[in-house]
Amino acid sequence: MVQFQEVYPRVLSLALPLPFELESVNVFLVALDTGYLLIDCGMQTKPAFETLEGAMEQRGIEWRDIRQIVLTHMHPDHMGLAARLVELTGAELAMHQAEAEHLRLVTGGNRRIPWLEEAYLQSGVPAPLETKMEEHFAEIRQNFHDLAPTRLFVGGEKLETALGPLEVIWTSGHSPGHICLYSRERKLLFSGDQILEKITPNIAWHPGRDMLAEFLESLALLDSLDIELIVPSHGGPFSGHRAWIRETIGHHRERCDQMIGLLAQSPRTAHQMVGEMWRRQLSPINHHFAIFEVLAHLEHLKRQGKVHPSADHGAIMWRA
């Protein structure tokens, strides 16, 4: 049986199962003066719920002991169970206001990002692949629920816990209203999906926004903080945020150079770029992320005048 692990005094971590390649997502119980703060909720699946229920029982923690729920962001693996847990616990629910807005857009539009179709069309995604991606997402989308947060963050708020105050740090890029929680006293960072030890977080492309720049800016902000322990949403705690940030910035710089190189050879659509950059068969869900990743980089390079789009029957051809 999966049990809570004490990853830090007064912080319990539990790895909840996920039905895709990324095997688990961590949720955390942080002790309050009375009760607990729950960070993230896991996916809305029977195994995830039963794992959480079993682990709480084993520790003698009741649903009503959870007084606050904070979502780092609205991705299905982090928010799927939120509606159910709010109901069971009666806890106050908080998230960043930009994330609540983004969630409203998605739930209001048949649980899809409103610009999804346009993004696939512009990228030149072939229809059969689009159908495959749609099939894969159909079930995952059931995790999006209308939530009514009792508290909306803008960043900078302090949450009182038994560890001392946890500061809300707004880190846009992976998602528009992603947040990290930071204990300045303890040099401890709950990094959500912003910093993951062995994975480069996916950048969410949004039309009209340079999400890669927003991600890099949020890394600069985290770089300025004193952090001894990073507690991420996927994988175990680790240290060395500055080295990780340096490496990740280098990775995006390389990606940008690689893309300019490819486009200098010949103009390509975003979909064709994915084929060149990931020289292996991607699962439909990873293909979707790869397309958005490429779009985010193209937008970033376009703003620097390094690549240029031109329309070709709906699909956009990019040239260096």
Write out the residues near Zn ion by the rule CB under 5 A: 75, 77, 193
Give 77 or 130: the residue with its C-beta nearer to Zn ion. Answer: 77
- C-alpha–C-alpha distance, residues 273 and 293, integer Å: 11
Q: How far is it, in rounded angstroms, from Cα 99 to Cα 204?
A: 12
Q: Which is nearer to Zn ion, 75 or 271 (CB)?
A: 75
Cβ proximity to Zn ion, 43 vs 263, nearer residue: 43
- For Zn ion, give the closer residue by CB, 74 or 227: 74
State the nearest-atom distance from the C-beta of 119 to Zn ion, in Å.
18
Question: Minimal distance in Å, beta carbon 98 to Zn ion?
Answer: 14
Give the nearer residue to Zn ion in terms of CB position, either 195 or 307. 195
Query: CA angle, corner 143, sides to 26 and 105, nearest 5?
Result: 115
Closest contact distance (angstroms) between CB of 194 and Zn ion is: 9
Task: Say whether 186 sits in a helix, a strand or coil.
Answer: coil
Distance CA 245, CA 241 (A): 6
In the three-class reduction of DSSP (H, G, I as helix; E, B as strand; rest coil), residue 150 is classed as coil
Provide, rounded to whole angstroms, the least separation between the CB of residue 190 and Zn ion: 13
CA distances from residue 108 to 73, 111, 135, 282, 286 in whole angstroms, order as listed: 17, 7, 20, 29, 25
Q: Which of 166, 168, 159 is nearest to 185 (CA)?
A: 166
CB atoms near residue 283 (< 10 Å): 13
Q: Is 255 exposed, middle or buried (0-12, 13-18, 19+ CB in 10 A)?
A: buried
Indicate the residue among 130 and 193 with the shorter CB distance to Zn ion.
193
- CB 73, min distance to Zn ion, A: 6
Task: Report the nearest approach of Zn ion to the CB of residue 263 (Å).
Answer: 28
What does DSSP assign to residue 207? T
- Point out the residue whose Cβ comes nearest to Zn ion: 75
